[in-house]
Each structure stands twice: as C-alpha cells, then as structure tokens.
C-alpha cells in the first residue's frame, strides 16, 4: 500500500502517515533508491523557496543566482543529515531508532566483508 499524493506531500514536509503505511515508510527509507527518494522529498521543500526567489523584483540573472544558491545550500544541508532524516522518519512511524540503518547495512554485509578482507590482505600484515 502506498500513500496518495496528498499524503505523500504531507510526508515529504515531515508529517506522519497513518499506521497502515508503516511498512511503506520503512521501505521508503531502506529501498535501493532511498537517496533518490530523499532528494525528491528535499525538492518538495526547496520548490517554494525557489519560486519565491524567482518572484523577487530585480534582474533575471540575479534571481536565477538566488535560486541556484538556495538549491545548493538546501541540498547541502539536506544531504548532510541524510541518515538522521531517514532514521527519524522510521522512528516517527514506530520503528526503533537504527532499524533503517541496520536494514541498509544488511543488504551490503557480504560485499563489505569482501572489501574488508581485500583491504586486510593488501594493507595489514599478519602478526
């Protein structure tokens, strides 16, 4: 089950979805595309700011520069707190803090173990 467009917009700005959508929220913050999903939610928050910047009186290049700076700064801060945002969304919907991280980590556990073994073989000497 997925949220309808109005519910998704509410969710994108930080709202809580009904309990029947708990599993979808967990999927949203743990899917392979979870970073892209985060970018879509951040875009919803940045769009009104960009529109306001475009409506400010003044030369078009300056207004476009304002939009560019707002978007760069907005995405910078949004992606700076990417993991925390995902964990808080999952926690807000009843999952223990760290659940989303654990699910994402489990997906890559085998590849991480291989990479660690390769690193140890190349850079760590047996003692």
Dist. CA 96–CA 90, nearest whole Å: 8
Q: What is the pLDDT of residue 127?
A: 55
User: pLDDT of the chain along its 127 residues, tens only?
Assistant: 899 999 999 999 999 999 999 999 999 999 999 999 999 999 999 999 999 999 999 999 999 999 999 999 999 999 999 999 999 999 999 999 999 999 999 988 888 888 998 998 888 876 5
**What does pTM read for this prediction?**
0.82
Q: What is the pLDDT of residue 126?
A: 61
Dist. CA 37–CA 30, nearest whole Å: 10
For every residue of 69-83, which 3-state class applies, written as one string?
HHHHHHHHHHHHCHH
Half-sphere exposure in the Cβ direction for 67 (13 Å, CA)? 17
Q: What is the pLDDT of residue 27?
A: 95
Nearest 5 degrees, angle CA 101-CA 26-CA 102? 20
Beta strand extents in the chain (DSSP E only): none
Tokens of 121: 């073989």
Q: What is the pLDDT of residue 55?
A: 95
């Amino acid at each position: 089950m997925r949220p309808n467009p109005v519910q998704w917009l509410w969710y994108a700005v930080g709202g809580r979805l009904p309990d029947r959508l708990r599993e979808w929220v967990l999927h949203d913050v743990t899917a392979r595309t979870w970073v892209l999903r985060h970018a879509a939610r951040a875009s919803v928050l940045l769009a009104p700011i960009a529109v306001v910047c475009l409506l400010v009186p003044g030369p078009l290049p300056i207004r476009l520069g304002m939009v560019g700076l707002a978007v760069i700064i907005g995405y910078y801060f949004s992606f700076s707190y990417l993991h925390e945002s995902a964990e808080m969304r999952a926690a807000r919907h009843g999952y223990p803090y760290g659940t989303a991280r654990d699910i994402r980590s489990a997906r890559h556990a085998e590849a991480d173990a291989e990479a660690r073994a390769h690193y140890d073989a190349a850079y760590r000497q047996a003692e």
